[in-house]
Structure 1
Amino acid sequence: MAVMLILPAMTLRAEDKVDEAMVKATRYLMSTQDPGSGGIHNKMRHETAMTSLAILAMAACGNQPSDPTPEGESMRKALAFVLRPDAQEKDGYFGQADGSRMYGHGITTLMLSEMLGMGGDAAQDEVIRNKCRLAIDLILRSQKVSKNDSNRGGWRYSPDSGDSDMSVTVWQTMALRAAKNAGLDVPKAAIDDAVGYIRRLYQPDTENRGNVKMGGFGYQTKGREISTTAEGLLAMQVCGQYDTEEVKGASDRLLKDGIRPGERWFFYTTYYYSQGMYQRGGKHADAARRLVADLLLPLQSREGWWEGINGEERQGGKVYATAMAVLSLSVKDHFLPIYQR
């Protein structure tokens, strides 16, 4: 009986630490908000995309733009920054003005899709819907650019790219799925084609690991990199592919190998790993939840921010790393519809 009493208390303390970390992170994000424009970024680059990530992170903690709280006011102002006229091209593209290319376009479109019906007021809701619809239409047009069979169904750096890669494709796929979930018209064929591209990047392991068929996903060709394996795992499940060979193989490999702070794209990988393994459920979700907390909590500063560990992620600034860390830790709350199982 003593063990039964102790274990829940230990779990509660761990949960409290995660909640405290997310509160501190939210305060940090709010502290970086430009009082004039409403943008949340480190004045480095990709201001619209970074602000969109910050909005997603704050929403993942249970905040909404309509809340009569400092957090709600901050989100309303941040949304106004993303919705400003010069942030989006007439053709719907968000990746031009801030230089974030299709990466930023997918992130911003995902955020707007998640914020549909959640604006600060009716007027902001209408602008969100209109701009989100334009952004979705651009993603759909970009997918139809003529490509060879190996690249068909995916996306890359620019709307007119003739090739594709996993990272850009997953952001667009998540945006399409979120928009479809929210009631926007997204053809089933577009989702199916995206899944087809992602599936073609899957590579089964050649080594024998206890007769378990493991595998992973590559970047532009078949592969088993940790980051792209986590990306592919989440995207496949978000699109309804829960029990496929690819999902089982990727999740089992991630369960065995885990992730480490030395990963080249640590915060990026942790985000996809956390969300993808949560979708898988069971022992995969339990192991990932513990590991992500064990890895991220010691890395948070007293002020609430996280920072990229290597040079490439450092370029994104503290807002980027902090938002990705929050999205990784907040999996336990599943406030955002796209991340719900």
Structure 2
Amino acid sequence: MSHTSTNRVFRSVKRPISFLLILAAVCGVLAQPLVPGYAADGPISKRPEMITAEAEKAIERGLDYLARTQARDGSWRNKGGYGSYPTAMTALAGLALLAGGNTPVEGKYSDNVRRAVDFIIKQAHPANNGLIGNMAEEHVPMYGHGFSMLFLGEVYGMERDPDRQEKMKAVLEKAIKLTGQSQSAAGGWLYQPNSGGDEGSVTITQIQGLRSIRNAGIQVPKAIIEKACKYIEMSANPDGGIRYQAGGGGESRPPITAAAVAVMYNSGNYEHPVAKKALEYIKKLMKGQGNARVFGGHEFYSTLYTAQAMYLSSAENWKEYFPATRDHFVNTQAKEGSWTGDGVGETYGTAIGLLTLQLPYASLPILQR
């Protein structure tokens, strides 16, 4: 059995008991069970459906690449032409490790997860007023802030050390406040905190982060999330696609449309008319391109959310979508285990490649059907 299989122990993610008592979803829809299919009686006996031996080897190489390239301070920094973005990259890499069945206390890369958590916590400096990120290195810090909320929200219930959990909770509570005060009048967010502006891709990161935190049993003001969901609705075009911004019109953006579908599904809004039309918009585009693996440019960003949308929507959609995506990642992986990531950098590309390939393992609560 491979390293990936032996380290993927089906376990019950330990969320605080308060969550079991107040279980409620974003935008007023009841949340789904946190870890469907998990058991505490041992490792996975076989690979999930459509995970080939080649895909499993690619996952192993990717996880090993991330572990080898983590800095001593627990961070990852991009080496591409768009900046290093250590907070955003560390959160994404940490999520990829969690998706591989690793936690702060279990798994081959548990130490890497712990170090990533420690780095993210340190980025929440008191002078930042709740922002998770180093303004000197994060030129668009609200991305890193959103990804960090998602990472800490997912790992919070996996941590068994009460002191470390309390540190995470303190960071997340301040992060929620910063996100709330940075929300625009329309309900979205822009690249900088407290800017008053908004656009779709940053808004997606904030919604997904808040959803994860709320699932962890930490209170998130309902009004923030409801307003954000309304922003997505206001961004919908008649063709079903989602545009860059809610105000001012503009053409539909396929990658943002896929991301909008994913976060609406994260919220349990599978039957919402906007989600249904957006999903059909995506499927129509893909069929128009001969079931193309990606569309709309920004390959890795597009794949990150298109894969989530297809996986969460139905088993049928996933079976139609995943094989080509899986094989593409297997065939384009560098010998060292990385993916290039749209020129953003290997950390970004590798994290997204792993998050996509590992969706069938259902290790991240927020990305479970």
TM-score (norm 1): 0.84
Q: State the partner residue of 2:354.
A: 326
Cα distance in 2 for partners of 1:141, 1:229 equals 25
Residue in 2 that maps onto 1:192:
226
Percent of aligned positions that are identical: 34
User: Cα gap change, 1:87/1:142 in structure 2, threshold over 3 Å: closer, same or farther?
Assistant: same
Task: Indicate yes or no: 2:236 matched with 1:236.
Answer: no
Q: How many residues align?
A: 311
Shift of 1:333: 1.2
Determine if the alignment matches structure 1 residue 170 to structure 2 residue 204. yes
- Cα distance in 2, alignment partners of residues 240 and 222 from structure 1: 28
Which 5+ residue runs of structure 1 have no aligned equivalent? 1-8, 206-214
Matched, 1:20 2:20: no
SS of the residue corresponding to residue 159 of structure 1 reads coil
Residues 100-124 of structure 1 show CA distances to partners (whole Å, capped at 9, x for unaligned) of: 4111110111111111132373332
Match of 1:38 among 59, 74, 95: 74
The 5 Å alignment of 1:1-341 reads 14-34=51-71, 36-42=72-78, 44-67=83-106, 69-84=107-122, 89-95=127-133, 96-99=135-138, 100-119=140-159, 121-143=161-183, 145=184, 147=185, 152-205=186-239, 215-220=240-245, 221=249, 223-258=251-286, 259-260=292-293, 263-308=296-341, 313-314=342-343, 316-341=344-369
Aligned to 2:7: none
CA deviation digits over 1:93-143, x for unaligned, max 9?
124253141111101111111111323733322211111111111111212
Residue 81 and residue 246 in structure 1: after superposition, are their counterparts in 2 closer, same or farther (change >3 A)? same
Q: In 2, distance between residues paired with 1:235 and 1:11?
A: 24
Quickly say closer, same or farther: Cα 1:88–1:70, change in 2 above 3 A: farther
Greater Cα offset, 220-229 or 272-281: 220-229
Q: Deviations over 1:163-191 (max 9, x none)?
A: 21110000000011111111111122222
| Compared CA separation, residues 88 and 307, structure 1 to 2 (3 A) | farther
The amino acid of 2:132's aligned partner reads: F
Amino acid corresponding to residue 73 of structure 1 in structure 2: D
Looking at structure 2, the residues matched to 13 and 162 of structure 1 have their Cα atoms a distance apart, in angstroms, of: 44
SS of equivalent to 2:88: helix
CA distance in 2, matches of 1:49, 1:13: 30
Distance in 1, Cα, partners of 2:147 & 2:155: 12
**Residue type of the alignment partner of 1:55:** G
Rounded to whole Å, the distance in 1 between the matches of 2:294 and 2:278 is 20
How far did 1:21 drift? 1.4
Is the Cα–Cα contact under 8 Å of residues 76 and 120 in structure 1 kept in the other structure?
no
**Cα 1:88–1:274 shift into 2, 3 Å:** farther
Residues 291, 256 of structure 1: CA spacing in aligned structure 2 closer, same or farther, 3 A cutoff? farther
CA offsets 1:17-53 (integer angstroms, 9 cap, x no match): 222211110000011111x312123455111211111
Rounded Cα–Cα distance in structure 2 between residues aligned with 1:12 and 1:202: 34
Cα-to-partner distance string for 1:238-260 (whole Å, 9 max, x where unaligned) = 12211122222222232232355
The CA RMSD over aligned residues, in Å, is: 2.3
Could you report, residue by residue, the CA deviation over 1:196-250 in whole angstroms, capped at 9, with x for unpaired residues? 1011111132xxxxxxxxx211111453221111111111211221112222222
Q: CA deviation at 1:13?
A: 7.4
**Which has the bigger relative contact order, CA under 8 A and spacing at least 6?**
2
**Alpha-carbon spacing, 1:198–1:302, altered in 2? closer, same or farther (3 Å):** same
- Between stretches 244-253 and 296-305, larger displacement belongs to 244-253
Q: Name the CA distance, whole Å, in 1 between partners of 2:47 and 2:155.
A: 35
> Do the aligned partners of 2:182 and 2:196 also contact (CA within 8 Å) in 1?
no
CA distance in 2, matches of 1:294, 1:200: 36
Q: Does structure 1 retain, via aligned residues, the 8 Å contact 2:102–2:108?
A: no
Give the distance between the partners of 1:161 and 1:275, measured in 2 at CA.
29
2-side partners of 1:253 and 1:88: how far apart? 43
Give the residue type in structure 1 aligned to 2:270: Y
Q: Distance in 2 between matches of 1:173 and 1:10?
A: 31
Higher helix share: 1
The answer (yes or no) to whether the contact 2:48–2:360 under 8 Å persists in 1 is: no
Q: Which runs of 5+ in 2 are unaligned?
A: 1-45, 287-291
Contact 2:338 2:346 survives alignment (8 Å): yes
TM-score by length of 2: 0.78
* Separation in 2, partners of 1:156, 1:227: 17
